[in-house]
Structure 1
Amino acid sequence: MTPNAAAASSAVAVPGDPSLARSIGPISAISLAIAAGFTAMMSFGTVQEAAKAEMGLSDAVLGLVQGVSAAVPLVLFSIPIGILVDRANRMRLFVALALTWTIGTALTAYAQTVPALFVGRMLAGIGTTGALTAALSLSADLCAPHERGRGVLLISLGKALGQAAAFAIVGWTFGAFVDAAAPTWLGLTPWRSTHLALTFASLACILPLLFFREPARNEVEAHVGAPFRILMSEFWQRRAFLVPLFAGQVTVVMADAAAAIWAAPVLSRDFGQQPQDFAGWMGAIMLLTGIGGAILGGIAADVGQKTGRRGGLLIGAVVAAVLAIPAALFPLSESTTTFAVALGTLVLCGTVTGLITSVALTVYIPNELRGLCIGLFIAVAGLIGFGIAPSLVTLVSSLLGGEQHLAIALAWVGVAVSIVSLGAFIIAMRNAPSHATKPV
């Protein structure tokens, strides 16, 4: 049997194939590490006021440190790391990326200049976003195709818990050091001591990964390490599926990014709310929708596959896209309660579609192309979702007459991109391949 034929035959589920039950150990270890990574990546935002006061930073510099350092990994490193995921030992690569975010966290603790702080935050972003790509690829080969919704669900739960921990655990740790009433931990101030503590915690979360081996790659159409022209040929053959799938999820990211950035100003301007009034319930919404969306998306993906319909895996994404359209009208709510429910629904739908999109890439795309596709998606979604959507809202409000029209502009943009998302997911569902190694 030729290598290609052997790879193709391995795509068929047989009793000896990996299963979620047998792989719960490595997947849980990867999920725990992802949680540590997202905690490290987002930790600085929680203590940035203390860093600003100590280092004499301006809001403009903080914006540079927080924004550009996060955007650079998305745009410049997502695709190269995705290619490495398709070609290298993913478990070793994951550990290397985990060490990258850990080094970035340690550098943050000791940074005395803005460039050093910027590099520290950038390393945290590179390591975390790159490791997420590797984690999705690993989870796909640690369980059978019909279980991948639940496999990716565990990775997404790690991400959601890490994002929540960046507020809760980091805030608690910082408070503990402040209550000591003195610089602690090798002479470091509280916010620096907090990052040093995160460094040690991250190393502890990485340690279990050293005991797991690289899983066999399943559903390979060409071969691992195939020439780039072959990968591009495979991508082109699946363009009728991948282009609308990307368009669907990128527009979802646009709606979610715009909501995340402009929800607070709308609450202040139109509802008379102050940050201390809405910080608690906004944080709870992000945590609950992150966990709930991951669970619903994972289950919906696996149930959709069992229907046997072409593109059935994407049924949940289509339903979520439908619900997101009225939810995008949250800025025009008559009360903060309605605002919270609608905003929560929008974010929940975005989490569901994001997870289902990730599962679709692991089920419908051959193994040697998955990392590249995931990396490309992360780069495009980051560039368009975070780079264009917020400015699009301000452009619309300006056309409507000024900043006083922010709420209606946010609603219009949210509804418009949500409608595009629905149409794109429907097209992707109709054009979905029957199998990872069959482009049509």
Structure 2
Amino acid sequence: MALATVTTADPTDAGAVSPIRQTAWRAVLLVALIVMAAGTVRLAFSPLQEAAKADLGLSDYQISLVQGLAAALPMALIAIPLGWLTDHTKRTRLIFILGLTWTAGMIGTAFAQSFEALFVARMLAGLGSMSVVPVAISVLADLSLPQSRGRAMLFLSMGNTLGPALAFVGGGALFTAFAAGGSLPGVQLSAWRETALVFGIASTLLMLPLFFLREPARHEVEDSSNSLNAMIRALWARRRFLAPLFVGQISVIMADAAAGVWAVPVLQRNLGQSAGTSAALVGGLLLFAGVIGPVIGGFVADRGHRSSVRGGILIGAVAASAIGVPAALFPLIGSVPAFTLVLFLLLASGAVTGLITATSIAVLIPNEERGVCLGAFMILGALIGLGLSPVLVSLGSQALGGEAHLAPALALVGVVTSILSLVGFILAMRNAPDKPVAG
């Protein structure tokens, strides 16, 4: 049985498609489930990285490359072509191919025996899991009415943040169980490798619901031309809005990515927490932030969109990014409860801005330009947000005197990027289009 009531349409004949009459909530939930699986794979290595570092004899700098540039570089190369494919081909097929990619990378992580092999495995895992988000946003936009898109994006954003939460909580619990003597039947691997293998198997099973997702018809198409140059020129015409919007959200990604990679090591090294406890703590924070942040962001985005304020859809992003500036100081806190509270504020703020940014693109950018717009965002977000920030933290700690200075380096990167995000969202709000794309 198909989960969407909307019909499939040829992208080149989008102008003939009648307006969507209702949001296909069952299909929205399915897309959110797939994004959750991708998010789990994306950060599944984070709670295991200290054990893998010791097992493979890696440095903090090598870990930062595995956690950052490994996924960022290849994703940046395919982002624009993937965006064009998103706008002009069957998106459900793209999601399936990306799912195969991240699953192969997760299984490869379990069997990597060197830095180079681990780099390639995490490259595949990150390439597939991070590339699926803009494709999913495009699908979700055509499954929902414009006036309910913020709430529809809420489910996608929750999936995108609940996945990493499951990675930390599940990864910490599995690692602790395997380290205590448990083992998969017929498998003789170290604890961190068996944990990675479980995630790979689970990812394979979670791909099965994709067979029930039908390609939705495309709506709100202004121009049916397939010209990539024409779409890039159209996006360039919106640069006064898109450029600061990108700066705002990419800076948030930098702060969140740095925290996602290095929060667990800081808890272990500076606050004396075990691997399982640290992973469970960060996972719990991601879980709550992944629920509360998107709920706030979704309703604030819809309410702001209905207001008469120019760029009102971004009001919540401005407020959340302002909260993120002091919250980025969490690594310097010496008690676990206070560390937990402040890190939660940072992660929740990031979840709010991410939801609002995605909704803004889905509402204010024409359908035929969304994929390329998100593709451009992927390039910058991957190279700068995800690829650069973990490396900046490791280089910063070296500049401050060595790996023992990880916490102040993480705080410095977080505060600077959070300030940039606040400035970016303020400018994006001021330069937002006067009128949204018609629904």
**TM-score w.r.t. structure 2 length?**
0.82
Deviations 1:174-223 (A, max 9, x none): 55556675663466665555444434432332222212211111111212
Distance 1:108 1:405 in 2: 28
Greater alpha carbon shift after TM alignment, 420-429 vs 56-65: 56-65
Counterpart AA for 2:379? A
Partner of 2:3: none
Partner of 1:274: 272
Residues 166 and 287 of structure 2 are in contact (CA less than 8 Å); yes or no, is this contact kept in structure 1? no
Structure 1 residue 364 displacement after superposition: 0.7
Greater alpha carbon shift after TM alignment, 142-151 vs 337-346: 337-346
Residues 137 and 371 of structure 1 are in contact (CA less than 8 Å); yes or no, is this contact kept in structure 2? yes
Partner of 1:103: 104
| Count of aligned pairs | 425
Q: 1:212 to 1:145 in 2, by over 3 A?
A: same
Deviations 1:308-353 (A, max 9, x none): 4332211111221233334345466686544443332222212211
Residues 219 and 436 of structure 1 are in contact (CA less than 8 Å); yes or no, is this contact kept in structure 2? no
1:354 paired to 2:357 = no
Residues 183 and 189 of structure 1 are in contact (CA less than 8 Å); yes or no, is this contact kept in structure 2? no
Structure 1 residue 33 displacement after superposition: 1.8
Partner of 2:256: 256
Structure 1 residue 381 displacement after superposition: 2.4
1:342 paired to 2:345 = no
Distance 1:118 1:393 in 2: 19
Distance 2:114 2:306 in 1: 55
Structure 1 residue 297 displacement after superposition: 1.1
Deviations 1:45-104 (A, max 9, x none): 4445665677x5434665554443233344333333222212211011111111221222
1:85 paired to 2:83 = no
Distance 2:405 2:199 in 1: 42
Structure 1 residue 412 displacement after superposition: 6.1
Distance 1:267 1:200 in 2: 29
Distance 1:49 1:394 in 2: 14
Deviations 1:144-163 (A, max 9, x none): 11111111111121122211
Counterpart AA for 2:317? A
- For the residue of structure 1 that corresponds to 2:28, the secondary structure is helix
Distance 1:406 1:62 in 2: 13
Which of 19, 22, 25 is equivalent to 2:22? 19
Distance 2:265 2:187 in 1: 40
Distance 2:51 2:332 in 1: 35
Greater alpha carbon shift after TM alignment, 155-164 vs 402-411: 402-411
Q: 1:67 to 1:185 in 2, by over 3 A?
A: farther
Structure 1 residue 356 displacement after superposition: 0.5
Deviations 1:287-314 (A, max 9, x none): 3222211221112111211224332211
Partner of 1:235: 235
Structure 1 residue 409 displacement after superposition: 7.0
Correspondences of 1:106-145 after superposition (within 5 Å): 106-111=107-112, 115-145=116-146
Q: 1:203 to 1:352 in 2, by over 3 A?
A: same
Higher-Rg member (1/2): 1
Distance 2:162 2:427 in 1: 33
Q: 1:349 to 1:204 in 2, by over 3 A?
A: same
Distance 1:161 1:427 in 2: 30
Q: 1:199 to 1:71 in 2, by over 3 A?
A: same
Q: 1:43 to 1:263 in 2, by over 3 A?
A: closer
Greater alpha carbon shift after TM alignment, 427-436 vs 361-370: 427-436
Greater alpha carbon shift after TM alignment, 168-177 vs 73-82: 168-177
> Which residues of structure 1 form unaligned runs of 5+?
none
Distance 2:190 2:35 in 1: 27
Distance 1:186 1:281 in 2: 28
Greater alpha carbon shift after TM alignment, 405-414 vs 383-392: 405-414
Q: 1:34 to 1:265 in 2, by over 3 A?
A: closer
1:44 paired to 2:45 = yes
- For the residue of structure 1 that corresponds to 2:274, the secondary structure is helix
Residues 106 and 199 of structure 1 are in contact (CA less than 8 Å); yes or no, is this contact kept in structure 2? yes
Partner of 2:368: 368
Q: 1:115 to 1:214 in 2, by over 3 A?
A: same
Distance 1:213 1:205 in 2: 17
Partner of 1:310: 310
Structure 1 residue 122 displacement after superposition: 1.8
Structure 1 residue 394 displacement after superposition: 8.0
Q: 1:261 to 1:231 in 2, by over 3 A?
A: same
**TM-score w.r.t. structure 1 length?**
0.81
Distance 2:330 2:15 in 1: 48
Q: 1:326 to 1:186 in 2, by over 3 A?
A: closer
Structure 1 residue 382 displacement after superposition: 2.9
Distance 1:40 1:405 in 2: 29
- For the residue of structure 2 that corresponds to 1:275, the secondary structure is coil
Task: Tell me the percent identity.
Answer: 44
Q: 1:339 to 1:229 in 2, by over 3 A?
A: same
Greater alpha carbon shift after TM alignment, 149-158 vs 385-394: 385-394
- For the residue of structure 1 that corresponds to 2:140, the secondary structure is helix
RMSD: 3.8
Counterpart AA for 1:149? G
Deviations 1:108-144 (A, max 9, x none): 3455565444333222111111111211111111101
Distance 1:390 1:419 in 2: 18
Residues 297 and 355 of structure 2 are in contact (CA less than 8 Å); yes or no, is this contact kept in structure 1? yes
Structure 1 residue 387 displacement after superposition: 4.8
Structure 1 residue 235 displacement after superposition: 0.7
Residues 109 and 196 of structure 1 are in contact (CA less than 8 Å); yes or no, is this contact kept in structure 2? yes
Correspondences of 1:158-177 after superposition (within 5 Å): 158-174=159-175
> Which residues of structure 2 form unaligned runs of 5+?
1-9
